[in-house]
A and B are shown apart, each in its own frame.
Chain A
Amino acid sequence: MDISSRWQQFKVSVSPTLKELRFTFSRIKQSPISVIGLAILILYILIALLAPVLAPPLPKRDPYMIPQESYIFMPNPPSEDHIFGTTENQYDLWYGCIWGTRTAFRIGFMVVVSSLAIGLLIGCVAGYYGGIIDELMMRFTDIIFAFPGLVLAMAFYMAIPDKVTILQFGEFNWTITVMTLDKVLIALVLVGWPSYTRVIRGEILRVRTEDYIEAAKAAGCSDFRVLVKHVIPNSIYPIVIMASLDIGAIVLTAAAMSFLGIGAQKGYADWGQLISLSRNWIFGNMNNPLAFWHVFLIPGIFIFTFVLGWNLLGDAFRDMLDPTIRRR
């Protein structure tokens, strides 16, 4: 078989997929709000990818640590050297905002994906099998729900040790140092999974009684297959949308924790920390109350638009994924 006929064959085989993809984009294009959301996020993805170009890190230095000009306490306004100016202790705002985008994506994705995985697993087991397992798991999630999320996350943060010894064998010692940012991530996951569990369990309880599940059983599918191939695909949309909204919300929570002093180590490129550094400068002085506007406004805008982008995209995800809506 020669190359051209092979290429033809390949084109035929991928054409349905391409058609669906084109259709997906045409759906998104129909709602301007989703387009705006998508545009914002594409911009942020570009910023994150191009961070080393936009803000070249100093050689032989952790690129996530913001360069510090000097130790002068008072922020400097935007200038030619520092496009966004500097914040408290002369951290460069431009550098912090650009590299902070990567941190924001990392916080958002890692927390949401881990919470989703835990929530899906527990929700599926509880919802599909029911009975005493369901009862136990749901009461446990209720316990976590009973605490205010931020406070509980702070408690978890405090409870996670700095150094975890995985293996100790005579002289041999395998220890992992937990970064402070990772501690924040773990704490947020531990607080975040119950809401997914709740939603997915409810959805599974609904889908489980649908007639097509009975039909699948009548066609000879095993329990596991019914769960994975029939129940989960029908109950996943709400939590996918929830997750896309949550990516934004988690970044906000992480920023709030940073503001309270629980977050990445000082000087780490993280929007929450930039905000927390601006705490002393929100009110300038008697003559000019907005003397240090750039210190809180610029990171604020970054956080605001990032969260907004995810929220706007939530609806687009639903239009894309749910076949009963997308073909309408």
Chain B
Amino acid sequence: MRTLLDIEDLVLKFYTYEGIVEALDEVNLNLKEGETLGVVGETGCGKSVTALSTLVLVPTPGRIEGGHIFFEPGDKRVDLLRQDESVLRKIRGKDISMIFQEPRVYLNPVYTVLDQISEVYMQHRMKELCKRAIAEIDNEIKSGKASFLVEFDKSMFKEMLKNPKSSVLKVVSKIPILNRYKRRLERMLRKEVVEILRTMEIADPERVVNMYPHELSGGMAQRVVIAMALACNPTLLIADEPTTNLDVTVQFQILNLIKILKDKFGSSILYITHDMGVVAEVCQRVAVMYAGSICEIADVMEIFKNPIHPYTKGLLESIPLPGKEFKSIDGTVPSLINPPAGCRFHDRCPYAIEICSKMKPKMVEVKKDHFLRCHLYVGVRK
């Protein structure tokens, strides 16, 4: 399978008042086409920051210090970190889109669902809509139902297709009667939005499109956010803990929905979560992240059956199950302002050896498709 996203040695630091936070330390990830990759880890280990840097939207005072993010949607391979803002803007929302953790705060409170979703269409799929509008008008002319003004509308759509920022359009769109071509566009957008909401299994989408975000329930809001993300058939969908704030039944529905939509739209998903159960449900491969670096990547079954990294083991043992003695990893997540030297996990690691505190381990492929970053295993293999 072709690699779609390739993050290489990504280093990201936050320059805060307290000091330099080394949030990401040589993160390596790759995502193949049509695959769902889970990224798991504790809170504050850099999962969300990894997601945001994939869109090159690092919140200030963060700065990307090194590495590459290669993205290969078609046959062209681009390094996202070395692109112009205008190129990135075309990629964001169209090729790469994102679902956020808390759906309601990510919806603009002053716009209805219709406005919010149609904005994404207008940003990225205007040309397609124009072509369809022209085809629709041609049909009307053929069937003889068209009025004399339709020809003018058609020329407007053609103009829009040729040059969306043309000054003629700007003037005409302000003149009443002449700007009725906009109504056709609105009608088409509305149809489109209702359609995509229906695929999201929202009941009564005709009513929901006119609602404001605060009128939606949590599950509905999340569906709307997913609809926004999928509006342009993105090749890569980044889901940043989309089900964390939902109750379990809704969570199940959303997970199912994501699985179904993935097959339908053919997107690859980067699924960020801290819930191992969710990972088992939706992902094909898992990357385990700890304190700003990836410590283990493998297939889901492999991770659950043969975890190698001590942190992965600890993480799996700390899943609460009835009848099982509850165990957690000793110690706390280290401060990333002064991260421990060597392997960042060594001071909590029960199997730590001398070299762990001195040298950073390298990423090695221990089995086919099973990558690991630990001195221990390399040592044992020797």
Contact = CB atoms under 8 A, between A and B. Distances in A.
B78 to A, nearest CB: 15
Q: Assign chain A's interface to a size class.
A: 20 to 34
Interface stretch (A98-106, A219-227, A239-247, A288-296): A219-227
A327 B145 CA distance: 40
A324 interface: yes
Contact of A1 (B91, B145, B183): B145
6 contacts: A218-B55, A218-B92, A218-B97, A219-B93, A222-B89, A234-B110
Interface stretch (B11-19, B152-160, B209-217): B209-217
Contacts of A219: 92-93, 97, 119-120, 123, 228
Contacts of A234: 108-110
A111 to B, nearest CB: 27
Contacts of B183: 13
Interface string A46-89: 00000000000000000000000000000000000000000000
Nearest to A209: B59
Nearest to A19: B210
Contact of B108 (A16, A216, A217, A327): A216
Residue of B108, B109, B147, B225 with most partner-chain A CB within 10 A: B108
Interface of A: 1, 13, 16, 210-212, 214-222, 229-230, 233-234, 323-324, 327
B37 interface: no
Given A215-B108, A218-B98, 14 more contacts: A211-B100, A212-B106, A214-B57, A214-B59, A219-B93, A219-B97, A219-B123, A220-B89, A220-B90, A220-B120, A220-B123, A220-B124, A233-B110, A233-B111
Contacts of B97: 218-219
Given A220-B124, A324-B109, A16 B210 contact: yes
B91 A220 contact: yes
A214 B91 contact: no
B123 A230 contact: no
A154 B59 CA distance: 47
A215 B106 contact: yes
B92 A211 contact: no
A218 B116 CA distance: 13
A230 B93 contact: no
Given A212-B105, A229-B119, A324-B109, A220 B94 contact: yes
B109 A220 contact: no
Nearest to A322: B110
Contacts of B120: 219-220
A210 to B, nearest CB: 7
B343 interface: no
A21 B94 CA distance: 36
A327 B112 CA distance: 12
Contacts of B212: 323-324, 327
Closest 3 CB pairs of A and B: A220-B93, A219-B93, A220-B92
Contact of A212 (B92, B107, B210): B107
Interface of B: 55, 57, 59, 89-94, 97-98, 100, 102, 105-111, 119-120, 123-124, 145, 147, 183, 210, 212, 214-215, 225, 228
A236 to B, nearest CB: 9
Contacts of A324: 109, 212, 214
Contacts of A1: 145, 147
Contacts of A216: 108, 119
Q: By CB atoms of chain B within 10 A, which of A16, A216, A220, A222 has the most?
A: A220
Contacts of B107: 212, 215
Nearest to B212: A323
A325 to B, nearest CB: 10
Nearest to A325: B214
A313 B124 CA distance: 41
Contacts of B228: 215, 219
B91 A327 contact: no
A215 B109 CA distance: 13
A221 B214 contact: no
Contacts of A211: 100, 102, 105-106
A16 B183 CA distance: 13
B331 to A, nearest CB: 32
A10 to B, nearest CB: 10
A220 B210 CA distance: 23
A323 B109 CA distance: 8
Nearest to B110: A233
Nearest to A323: B212
Contacts of B55: 218
Contacts of A221: 89, 93, 119, 123
Contacts of A230: 108
A215 B92 CA distance: 10
Given A219-B228, A221-B89, A324-B212, A214 B106 contact: yes
A11 to B, nearest CB: 14
A149 to B, nearest CB: 32
A178 B92 CA distance: 52
Contacts of A229: 119
Nearest to A215: B106
B134 to A, nearest CB: 19
Contacts of B225: 215
Contacts of B123: 219-221
Which among B93, B102, B107, B147 has the highest number of chain A CB atoms within 10 Å? B93
B215 A327 contact: yes
Nearest to B183: A13
Contacts of A215: 98, 100, 106-108, 225, 228
A25 B89 CA distance: 41
B242 to A, nearest CB: 13
Given A218-B55, A220-B91, A220-B123, A323 B105 contact: no
A202 B8 CA distance: 40
B280 to A, nearest CB: 28
A254 B123 CA distance: 47
B214 to A, nearest CB: 5
Nearest to B238: A218
A233 B109 CA distance: 10
B118 to A, nearest CB: 12
Give the most central of A13, A16, A212, A222: most B CB within 10 Å. Answer: A212
A249 to B, nearest CB: 27
B112 to A, nearest CB: 8
